[in-house]
């Protein structure tokens, strides 16, 4: 079955398409979100059970500040990656600035614009 489409793609539509094109991001968001939540809950439990141990943890964190920043970047990567990719929507040569048209079938998606054509399989 072949579906014909035509119209202008908004930045939100582009962002949704990026999320749908990368289904592994959903798993990554759940996994890294759970790890991040586990860390936060562990720190809260440590504060509640043993404030003296939390003071030791604060010393360790201050000594290993660069590695903590790197860990936070890695843990939050799946959450901000689509937005980083969506920044390409505003670039000068983007096909989606004008009205696009094309077809979708079982094997590929074609996108035709005023200046460019693309096909994804």
Averaged pLDDT for residues 111-116:
77
Cα torsion 109, 16, 93, 90 to 10°: value is 170
What residue spans of 7-108 are helical by DSSP H?
11-21, 24-49, 51-63, 65-86
Domain membership of residue 34 (yes or no) is yes
Residue 47 · residue 56 · CB < 8 Å: no
Per-residue pLDDT of 36-49, as tens digits, reads 888 888 877 777 77
Per-residue pLDDT of 22-38, as tens digits, reads 777 778 878 888 888 88
Determine the pLDDT at residue 13: 80
Determine the pLDDT at residue 34: 87
Per-residue pLDDT of 99-113, as tens digits, reads 888 888 888 888 887
| Parent domain of 76 | 10-94
> How far, in Å, are 1, 16, 42, 50, 116 from residue 47 at the CA level?
60, 40, 9, 6, 58
Determine the pLDDT at residue 100: 81
Domain membership of residue 59 (yes or no) is yes
Percent of the chain with pLDDT over 90: 0
Determine the pLDDT at residue 116: 74
**Beta bridge partners of residue 5, listed in sequence order:** 102
> In the chain, how many domains are there?
1
Domain membership of residue 17 (yes or no) is yes
**Confidence check: pLDDT of 21 > 80:** no
């Amino acid at each position: 079955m072949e579906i014909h489409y035509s119209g202008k793609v908004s930045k939100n539509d582009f962002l949704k398409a990026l999320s749908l094109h990368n289904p592994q991001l959903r798993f990554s968001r759940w996994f890294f979100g759970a790890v991040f939540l586990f860390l936060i809950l562990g720190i809260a439990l440590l504060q509640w059970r043993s404030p003296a141990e939390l003071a030791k943890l604060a010393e360790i964190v201050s000594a290993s500040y660069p590695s903590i920043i790197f860990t936070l970047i890695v843990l939050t990567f799946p959450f901000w990656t689509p937005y980083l990719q969506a920044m390409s929507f505003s670039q000068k040569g983007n096909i989606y600035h004008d009205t696009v048209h094309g077809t979708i079938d079982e094997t590929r998606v074609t996108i035709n614009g005023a200046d460019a054509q693309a096909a994804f399989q």
